[in-house]
């Protein structure tokens, strides 16, 4: 779900939320009991001078009193391959008239990042004078490890073809993170994220549309004295079930930093990141036993309209195991027979 520094936004191009986490059927009711989702997530992104300069400050490669002209040939490139394991328990007893669920997201994988180009600017001396400097950089870093832990609680309500949800989640910063390292699998600070969503799903026609809007409040990164602003994110999915098992459609997201970054470690100003993504999806539902069903979903996003963050493309391959839907009750004619 969350945490590859190569993939995201805010401080040095890194955010808590991974756009695309929610998709089709996000607010649809689930079967009570335990389920398990396994996701393989791959991303390939790059960024220009804005993000590369911010990373130089975070790594301590540029003094805090430096004025940097980053409009030279300075660029960041990164790839990430992560596995997410998401156990979920859905409660049978209603809560506030809805269906409650609790999940815990954990991650393991590898992130590789390179930063190369020329950096130029000036250093402010003790008397206020400026000393010009220019440096060529070419650094790379690869990190294997575990990501942060992300608990999530959700409530869902069903009213015919209309479904509603609300959720709250957050980041427990226990993953592989070092502020002076180019590649990380943790974000180095806590966060709280909450929002709500809607799903239209008509089993008779197979039409489906889902959208989830959320906001992230970020706590200060005490290692860098940097605090990300408030983030807004909207994930959506639209699909058509060709049969009860086969699903095709589109997915997309919009991500926007709506609050300026702050803290004594902020040397790059407001740094408000944004990005949009869109791509295809395919899903397939199949029985595993009389009581369990499997679900495979493949979706991919091409990003555009990005600023102050790495952008590129990403793919998600999900395999989920959950309780099978209960069989319909027998009709009166069947009971008579």
- For 112, 166, 243, 321, the CA distances from 285, given in Å and listed in that order, are 34, 25, 10, 10
Percent of the chain with pLDDT over 70: 76
* Pairing assessment for the beta strands 191-202 and 162-171 based on DSSP bridges: antiparallel
CB pairs under 8 A, 24+ apart, for 222-226?
222/189, 223/177, 223/179, 223/188, 224/11, 224/58, 224/179, 224/188, 224/263, 224/265, 225/263, 225/264, 225/265, 226/11, 226/58, 226/261, 226/263, 226/265, 226/266
CATH 2.40.160.40 fits 33-336, yes or no: yes
**pLDDT beyond 80 at 140:** yes
* Partner residues linked to 184 by β-bridges: none
Looking at per-residue pLDDT, the higher value among 119 and 184 belongs to 184
Output the pLDDT for position 306: 87
- The dihedral through the CA atoms of 20, 223, 135, 115 has a sign that is negative
Interval 215-262: pLDDT, tens: 999 999 888 888 888 999 999 999 999 999 999 999 999 999 888 777
> Which residues are CB-contacts of 125 (< 8 A; sequence separation ≥ 6)?
131
Output the pLDDT for position 313: 96
**pLDDT beyond 50 at 213:** yes
Q: What is the pTM of this model?
A: 0.84
Interval 118-127: pLDDT, tens: 666 665 555 5
pLDDT band of 128, cuts 50, 70, 90: low
DSSP H helices in the chain:
49-58, 332-336
**Mean pLDDT of the 309-313 span:** 88
Task: Report the distance separating Cα 281 and Cα 116, nearest Å.
Answer: 35
Output the pLDDT for position 127: 57
Looking at per-residue pLDDT, the higher value among 266 and 89 belongs to 89
pLDDT band of 151, cuts 50, 70, 90: very high
**pLDDT beyond 60 at 67:** no
**pLDDT beyond 70 at 266:** no
Task: Report the distance separating Cα 307 and Cα 55, nearest Å.
Answer: 15
Output the pLDDT for position 261: 77
Interval 1-50: pLDDT, tens: 333 333 333 555 568 899 999 999 999 999 999 999 999 999 998 876 55
Is residue 154 within 8 Å of residue 169, measured between CB atoms? Answer: no
């Amino acid at each position: 779900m969350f945490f590859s520094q190569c993939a995201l936004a805010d401080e040095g191009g890194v955010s808590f939320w991974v756009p695309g986490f929610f998709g089709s059927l996000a607010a649809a009711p689930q079967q009570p009991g335990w389920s398990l989702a396994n996701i393989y997530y791959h991303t390939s992104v790059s960024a220009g001078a804005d993000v590369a300069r911010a990373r130089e400050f975070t790594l301590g490669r540029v003094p805090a009193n430096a004025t940097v002209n980053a409009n030279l040939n300075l660029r960041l490139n990164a790839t990430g391959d992560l596995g997410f394991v998401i156990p979920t328990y859905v409660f049978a007893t209603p809560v506030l008239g809805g269906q409650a669920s609790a999940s815990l997201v954990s991650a393991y994988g590898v992130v590789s990042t390179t930063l190369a180009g020329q950096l130029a600017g000036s250093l402010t001396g003790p008397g206020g004078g400026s000393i010009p400097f220019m440096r060529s950089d070419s650094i790379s870093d690869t990190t294997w490890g575990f990501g942060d832990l992300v608990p999530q609680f959700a409530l869902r309500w069903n009213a015919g073809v209309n479904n509603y949800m609300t959720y709250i989640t957050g980041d427990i910063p226990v993953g592989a993170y070092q502020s002076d390292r180019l590649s990380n699998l943790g974000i180095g600070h806590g966060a709280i994220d909450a929002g709500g969503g809607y799903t239209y799903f008509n089993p008779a026609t197979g039409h489906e549309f889902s959208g989830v809007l959320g906001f992230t409040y970020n706590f200060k990164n005490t290692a860098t004295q940097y605090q990300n602003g408030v983030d807004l994110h909207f994930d959506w999915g639209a699909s058509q079930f060709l049969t009860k098992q086969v699903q095709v459609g589109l997915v997309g997201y919009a991500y926007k930093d709506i609050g300026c970054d702050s803290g004594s470690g902020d040397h790059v100003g407001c740094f408000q990141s944004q990005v949009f993504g869109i791509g295809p999806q395919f899903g397939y539902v199949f029985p595993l036993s009389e009581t369990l069903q499997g679900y495979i979903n493949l979706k991919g996003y091409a990003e555009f309209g990005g600023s102050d963050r790495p952008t590129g493309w990403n793919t998600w391959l999900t395999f989920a195991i959950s309780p099978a839907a209960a069989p319909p009750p027998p009709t009166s004619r069947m009971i008579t027979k």
